[in-house]
Structure 1
Amino acid sequence: MVRVDREARKAIAEKLVKWYEIKGRQFSWRKEGLEPYHILIAEMMLQKTRAEMVERVYRDFLGKYPNPQTLAAATVEEIASCLKPLGLYNRRARWMKVISETLVSRYQAKLPKEKKDLMDLPGIGAYIVHAILCFAYDKPVPLVDVNVARVLGRVASIEVSGDIRRNRKLHKVAAELVPKKKFKEFNWALVDLGALVCTSKNPKHHDCPIASFCKFAAIEKLKNKCKKI
Structure 2
Amino acid sequence: MLKKERFRKFLAYFTTHFPEPKTELHYGNPFELLVAVILSAQCTDKRINQVTPALFARFPDPESLAAASVEEVFSYIRSVSYPNNKAKHLVGMARVLTEQFAGEVPANVEDLQKMPGVGRKTAHVITSLIFNQPTMAVDTHVFRVSHRLGLVPRTATTPLAVEKALMPYIPAEYVPKAHHWLILHGRYVCIARAPKCSECALTDFCRYYEKIGLPGLGSAGVIEN
TM-score scaled by length of structure 2 = 0.83
Q: 1:184 to 1:63 in 2, by over 3 A?
A: farther
Is residue 123 of structure 1 aligned with residue 117 of structure 2?
A: yes
DSSP 3-state at the match of 1:200: coil
Identity score, percent: 21
CA distance in 1, matches of 2:195, 2:108: 37
Deviation at 1:3, TM superposition (A): 5.4
Which fold has the larger relative contact order, with Cα–Cα distance below 8 Å and residues 6 or more apart in sequence? Answer: 1
CA distance in 2, matches of 1:22, 1:175: 19
The 10-residue stretch of structure 1 (13-22 or 47-56) with the greater mean CA deviation from structure 2: 13-22
Deviation at 1:76, TM superposition (A): 0.6
Deviation at 1:126, TM superposition (A): 0.5
Deviation per CA, 1:185-207, whole angstroms, max 9, x where unpaired?
A: 43222111111111122211132
Instruction: State the match for 2:196 in structure 1.
Output: 204
- Match of residue 70, structure 1, among 64, 71, 86: 64
Give the count of matched residue pairs. Answer: 214
CA distance in 1, matches of 2:39, 2:18: 22
Q: Is the 8 A contact 1:148 1:190 kept in 2?
A: yes
Q: 1:176 to 1:135 in 2, by over 3 A?
A: same
Letter matched to residue 4 of structure 1: K
DSSP 3-state at the match of 2:78: helix
Is residue 159 of structure 1 aligned with residue 144 of structure 2?
A: no
Q: 1:3 to 1:103 in 2, by over 3 A?
A: farther
Instruction: State the match for 1:227 in structure 2.
Output: none
Give ranges in structure 2 of 5+ residues lacking alignment: 216-225
Give me the CA root mean square deviation.
2.6
Q: 1:18 to 1:185 in 2, by over 3 A?
A: farther
- Match of residue 96, structure 1, among 70, 90, 110: 90
The 10-residue stretch of structure 1 (153-162 or 44-53) with the greater mean CA deviation from structure 2: 153-162
Q: Is the 8 A contact 1:154 1:215 kept in 2?
A: yes
Deviation at 1:26, TM superposition (A): 4.3
DSSP 3-state at the match of 2:57: helix
The 10-residue stretch of structure 1 (18-27 or 133-142) with the greater mean CA deviation from structure 2: 18-27
CA distance in 2, matches of 1:137, 1:25: 14
Is residue 195 of structure 1 aligned with residue 187 of structure 2?
A: yes
- Match of residue 16, structure 1, among 14, 17, 27: 14
Deviation at 1:124, TM superposition (A): 1.3
The 10-residue stretch of structure 1 (128-137 or 34-43) with the greater mean CA deviation from structure 2: 34-43
Letter matched to residue 191 of structure 2: T
Q: Is the 8 A contact 1:142 1:175 kept in 2?
A: yes
Is residue 107 of structure 1 aligned with residue 106 of structure 2?
A: no
- Match of residue 26, structure 2, among 2, 25, 28: 28
Q: 1:73 to 1:25 in 2, by over 3 A?
A: closer
CA distance in 2, matches of 1:114, 1:24: 21
Give ranges in structure 1 of 5+ residues lacking alignment: 224-229
Q: Is the 8 A contact 2:43 2:80 kept in 1?
A: yes
CA distance in 2, matches of 1:114, 1:27: 21
Q: 1:60 to 1:182 in 2, by over 3 A?
A: farther
Q: 1:160 to 1:40 in 2, by over 3 A?
A: farther
CA distance in 2, matches of 1:160, 1:55: 35
Deviation at 1:177, TM superposition (A): 4.5
Deviation at 1:142, TM superposition (A): 1.1
Deviation at 1:179, TM superposition (A): 3.8
Instruction: State the match for 2:208 in structure 1.
Output: 216
Q: Is the 8 A contact 1:102 1:121 kept in 2?
A: yes
Is residue 139 of structure 1 aligned with residue 138 of structure 2?
A: no
TM-score scaled by length of structure 1 = 0.82
